[in-house]
Amino acid sequence: MKMRPEPLLLLTVLLCAAGKPQSKARNKLLLISFDGFRWDYDQDVDTPNLDLLLKYGVKAKYITPPMLTMTSPSHFTTITGRWVEDHEVVHNMMFDAKTNLKIPHKTTLRRSEWWDNGVKPLWITAQNQGLKTASFHFPGGGANYSGQAVHRSVLEGSDHPDDNETEWRQNIDTVLSWLSKEDFNLVTLYYGEPDNVGHAKGPDHPDRKKIVQQIDRTIGYLKDAVARHHLTDSLNVIITSDHGMTTVKKRPQVDELILNKYLNLLEAASFEILDYGGFGILTPRPGREQEVFDALSKAPNLTVYKKNEIPESFHLAKSERLPPIVIVADLGFNLNSVSRSTLHLTFVSHQRFIVYVNKGDHGYHNGEMDMKTIFWAYGPDFKKNFLSDPFDSIHIYPLMCELLQIEPAPHNGSLTATENLLLSRGEDQSRKSKASAESAFRSDTSAANHSAAADHLSENQPNKPEEAVSRSGGRYLLPVSESPCFTLKR
């Protein structure tokens, strides 16, 4: 893996930080991610609390995630400000193409060797400049970086339910007490919805609207809790996500993509992850790269790339981990290998066997509007009632460094793209005079919460353990334990 000259870099960073003028008090930062929240999910459902975020903060029309539009790659770009080819978290699954190792997403959260490739995430950079940081379920927050751990990290268990509204509120109380009582400067908080519902039922299903309303109530709860913890004047909050979601096209409308029709994958490839939505990777056996490329190029509704010919705009080609062949399906098409672990089942059943049965998916080109996602922010350093033009999620990193008043590690973002969200220094100094607006915000929030059916909480009991598989599922026809390809989390 690529390693960077960290000692010299650290020295430079510390010198720069020491020399940086501290013209105002340093506020704290809470970064919240709701996985798979498509940019327009708030537009066909009543979301009074999210609407208030714009009134008393900033919103981007949408933001563009990096290629790959997947949970781990995209979250790690947000928290490092690096393209995927640089941070090398190139899939939700940890894999080794040489040994055929494949490890499901939630297990990777504890595997530092998947995350630590020489790029320092924000937690570590902030800690090295004297700040106190924590991660609650956030991808990458449970790894060690050159032996250095995030000060406090809560990891998701493999059977953790994603949609328990009571627990969502408890998690908010937990992280706010870290910020208010234990003086943490930066906390990142992750929620697995609306991604799960989007996969299981599709982005147009009424249950997706229900979960967005649950998120909306949670935002209302958050805003009240921030006031209760006396953090209104000292905490900035960023609410974002990793990618959007699109409806998977199925028969009879379209023929699914079955790659084994074009190539005997078992014979031609030594490694592949293909049954994983719209993005596939494959290592041809020695001497067969051109044959694999030519054969798969004949398949409709997908684009095959040799790694060294991947467009520069994808920011993927320089990755050492990515196998030599990368496949990106057209929007809404899933790649089905019908090979290897599924092959024997195909023979047994003597019929076509689609192993991947999501109704919604992501992993498609980040230029597709369905892959775009959300950005809201509010707090003492942000403008009010400011609707921003779209920007790339990679620019969130320098914004967070600016908010925390730390010197960024080397990154691919630009503060120029996001600094217009911030109050200017002059505006900042006069922010105390906005106290009346802030208290009005809290009253609005309470009213919105009340009208948005707070009673829902009592209906939302924690999921029983046995529901974990069926809920994520319906998606997979095999028990998770039977194949490392099948993960509960995308």
Q: How far is the CB of 378 from Zn ion (least distance, A)?
A: 27
Structural contact between residues 362 and 130, judged by C-beta atoms closer than 8 angstroms: no
Q: Tell me the three state secondary structure of residue 486.
A: coil
**CA distance to 19, 95, 324, 328, per residue, from 281 (Å):** 46, 11, 8, 9
Stretch that binds Zn ion, among 54-62, 193-201, 455-463, 471-479 (CB under 5 A): 193-201
490 binds Zn ion (CB under 5 A): yes
- Tell me which residue of 177, 203, 201, 181 sits closest to 189, measured CA to CA: 177
Residues with catalytic roles = 71
| Shorter beta-carbon distance to Zn ion: residue 77 or 405 | 77
120 binds Zn ion (CB under 5 A): no
Question: E strands along 15-129, which residues?
Answer: 28-34, 58-60, 63-64, 94-96, 101-103
275 binds Zn ion (CB under 5 A): no
| Shorter beta-carbon distance to Zn ion: residue 36 or 380 | 36
DSSP 91: S
Stretch that binds Zn ion, among 33-41, 134-142, 218-226, 344-352 (CB under 5 A): 33-41
The residue nearest Zn ion at its CB is 490
Q: Tell me the three state secondary structure of residue 422.
A: strand
Residue 280 neighbours by CB under 8 Å, 6+ apart: 259, 272, 273, 274, 326, 327, 328, 329, 335
Round to whole Å and give the CA distance between 61 and 40. Answer: 9
Round to whole Å and give the CA distance between 372 and 36. Answer: 9
Neighbours of 147 (CB within 10 A): 7
Q: How far is the CB of 72 from Zn ion (least distance, A)?
A: 10
195 binds Zn ion (CB under 5 A): yes
Stretch that binds Zn ion, among 30-38, 164-172, 305-313, 475-483 (CB under 5 A): 30-38
DSSP 44: S
φ, ψ of residue 370 in degrees (nearest 5)? -65, -15
59 binds Zn ion (CB under 5 A): no
Q: How far is the CB of 359 from Zn ion (least distance, A)?
A: 12
Neighbours of 166 (CB within 10 A): 12
Stretch that binds Zn ion, among 75-83, 190-198, 387-395, 448-456 (CB under 5 A): 190-198
Neighbours of 269 (CB within 10 A): 25
Q: Compute the half-sphere exposure of residue 14: CA atoms within 13 Å on the CB side of its CA.
A: 9
Q: Tell me the three state secondary structure of residue 376.
A: strand
Q: How far is the CB of 189 from Zn ion (least distance, A)?
A: 18
Round to whole Å and give the CA distance between 241 and 337. Answer: 29
Q: How far is the CB of 321 from Zn ion (least distance, A)?
A: 20
Stretch that binds Zn ion, among 11-19, 28-36, 308-316, 404-412 (CB under 5 A): 28-36
Size of the site for Zn ion (CB under 5 A): 3
Q: Measured in whole angstroms, how far is the alpha carbon of residue 331 from the centre of its chain?
A: 19
Q: How far is the CB of 373 from Zn ion (least distance, A)?
A: 12
Structural contact between residues 43 and 363, judged by C-beta atoms closer than 8 angstroms: no
| Shorter beta-carbon distance to Zn ion: residue 189 or 401 | 189
Q: How far is the CB of 362 from Zn ion (least distance, A)?
A: 6
Stretch that binds Zn ion, among 160-168, 195-203, 321-329, 438-446 (CB under 5 A): 195-203
Residue 130 neighbours by CB under 8 Å, 6+ apart: none
Round to whole Å and give the CA distance between 352 and 439. Answer: 61
Q: How far is the CB of 360 from Zn ion (least distance, A)?
A: 8
| Shorter beta-carbon distance to Zn ion: residue 63 or 296 | 63
Neighbours of 13 (CB within 10 A): 20
Annotate 260-312 with DSSP letters as a single string.
Answer: GGTS-HHHHEEEEE-SSTTEEEEEEPTT-HHHHHHHHHTSSSEEEEEGGGS-G
Q: How far is the CB of 407 from Zn ion (least distance, A)?
A: 34
What six digits make up the tokens of 332? 């809404």
Q: How far is the CB of 327 from Zn ion (least distance, A)?
A: 18
Please, which of residues 34-53 interact with Zn ion by CB under 5 A?
A: 36
Q: Which residues bind Zn ion (CB under 5 A)?
A: 36, 195, 490
